[in-house]
Amino acid sequence: MVGVCIKYMHENYGGILQAYATVSYLENQNIEYELIRYTRKKTVTETLKDIPRLFNAVWLNSRYEGIERKISLKKYPQYAKNDEVRMKAFANFKKWAFKSFSEEYVGYAALCEGGKKYSAVITGSDQLWSPAGLPTNYYNLMFVPDNTLKISIASSFGVKKIPWYQKKRTAHYLKRIEYISMRENRGSEIVKELTGRDVPTILDPVFFLSKKEWLERIPNKKEIDEPYIFAYFLGATQEHRNAVKKLASDKGMKIVALRHMDQYVEEDEHFGDFAPYDVSPERFLNFLRNAEYICTDSFHGTAFSILNEKQFIVFNRYAENASFSKNSRIDTLCMNFGLEDRRYKGGMNLSDIIKTDIDYKAVSEKYKKIKSVTDEYLNTVLREIKKRA
């Protein structure tokens, strides 16, 4: 039995589809697995472990956004009502997408005991190795026994550097993991800096399923007959929304928008000609598939645009100099696929960016190279998993 430590319960379209792709890939390979369920106990010891987070910019920003969201849900009743509709759509997806679970391990001691049952444990993708999560010792597989096979598949730190006070502990857990692959070029560099190991940068799990396989699992349903722009923003930058509005005006198209994604954004109240809330991950994917243009600041929004060979523009969610910036994910994605010219920089006219269509023949050639590295890594770890089963 293989244990899997990934984020599958949060309400983020890209994140949950990535988790679905991961388990779908394991099923395709006939790997018996279960998603490891863990709930931390709020003991004095666990609370003390969290103290270093108070000095972590990524964690502080995440907490700030979370608090702001809770305040907004109370302040704006209609926002809360719409958010409830969205959460229900996510819940319905989870019911059929994720079926194989471990028992719930409550407390770290129970998690360590439960970890003994697996022949291998896999983690990966979705910023699971963010410095903010280090104290939990969950996604870094510190709870897994030394003699159990530990594997990372396209793991992500989500940041460009590890805080100085976490480097020793980060190096320690990295050295315990027998097989490591990263999702970002910078992530592979960090592993090299901390451990001396050369590890591959591979594709995100959403690419483990082909366009055809995604269509088989989530059939295409077209809702809108006329051409439209799909706007999927996690950040709150008004300039990005204004740029999309101008593009819509230039092209004579309507905007399909997902409002208030990670937080309440006042300007979103008037953004988009069609902005539904009952959008499941399946419906999200179909809005993207059928759009004429996609404008997004999301890593997975960009990944699915590439996978579906769409014309898109990608924005930076964070300021480049922000200490909590996670832009390195999109940096790698665009760089490795030769799509740096699809990046929006302040003041640009989107009509100028899309004047030339993306050459997906050229993208395909770059994709083949990265996929070759990805397949080589996955085949290696699969052989090891099956050897220990």
Question: Do the beta carbons of residue 55 and residue 163 sit within 8 Å?
Answer: yes
Question: Do the beta carbons of residue 68 and residue 264 sit within 8 Å?
Answer: yes
Round to whole Å and give the CA distance between 93 and 87.
Answer: 10
Mean pLDDT of the chain: 91
pLDDT at residue number 67: 82
Residue 311 DSSP SS3: strand
pLDDT at residue number 88: 97
Residue 53 has pLDDT above 70, yes or no: no
pLDDT at residue number 65: 72
pLDDT at residue number 329: 76
Round to whole Å and give the CA distance between 276 and 279.
Answer: 7
pLDDT at residue number 321: 56
Task: Select the more confidently predicted residue: 310 or 161.
Answer: 310
Mean pLDDT of 74-93: 94
Q: Containing H/E element for 230?
A: strand 228-232
Round to whole Å and give the CA distance between 31 and 384.
Answer: 12
The secondary structure of residue 274, as a DSSP letter, is B
> In this predicted model, what pLDDT tens digit does every residue of 352-384 receive, in sequence order?
999 999 999 999 999 999 999 999 999 999 999
Mean pLDDT of 242-252: 97
Round to whole Å and give the CA distance between 240 and 110.
Answer: 46
Q: Name, in order, each residue with C-beta under 8 angstroms of 168's C-beta and a sequence gap of 6 or more.
A: none
Cα within 13 Å of Cα(20), Cβ side: 23
Candidate from 2-11, 62-71, 306-315 with smallest mean pLDDT: 62-71
pLDDT at residue number 325: 46
Smallest Cα–Cα separation from 83: which of 209, 308, 260?
260
Residue 313 DSSP SS3: strand
Mean pLDDT of 36-56: 70
Mean pLDDT of 349-353: 94
Q: How would you classify residue 137: left for phi > 0, otherwise alpha for psi between -120 and 50, otherwise beta? A: left
Provide φ and ψ at 123, rounded to 5°.
-135, 165
Question: Do the beta carbons of residue 208 and residue 235 sit within 8 Å?
Answer: no
The secondary structure of residue 155, as a DSSP letter, is B
pLDDT bin (cut points 50, 70, 90) of residue 54 is: low
pLDDT at residue number 46: 60
pLDDT at residue number 48: 57
Residue 64 has pLDDT above 70, yes or no: no
Radius of gyration of the chain (CA): 21
pLDDT at residue number 59: 58
Task: Select the more confidently predicted residue: 346 or 54.
Answer: 346
Residue 191 has pLDDT above 80, yes or no: yes
pLDDT bin (cut points 50, 70, 90) of residue 324 is: very low
- Cα distances from 257 to residues 91, 230, 296, in angstroms, run 21, 6, 10
- Cα distances from 65 to residues 58, 129, 231, 261, 300, in angstroms, run 11, 19, 21, 11, 20
Mean pLDDT of 49-71: 68
Residues paired with 3 in a beta bridge: 34, 121
Residue 55 has pLDDT above 80, yes or no: no
% residues pLDDT > 70 (the chain): 92
pLDDT bin (cut points 50, 70, 90) of residue 70 is: confident
Candidate from 145-149, 158-162, 203-207, 356-360 with smallest mean pLDDT: 158-162
> In this predicted model, what pLDDT tens digit does every residue of 129-144 receive, in sequence order?
988 888 889 999 999 9
pLDDT at residue number 10: 82
Which domains does the chain carry?
2-209+369-388 (3.40.50), 219-366 (3.40.50.2000)
Mean pLDDT of 239-256: 97
Q: Containing H/E element for 63?
A: helix 57-75
Candidate from 80-84, 263-267, 317-321 with smallest mean pLDDT: 317-321
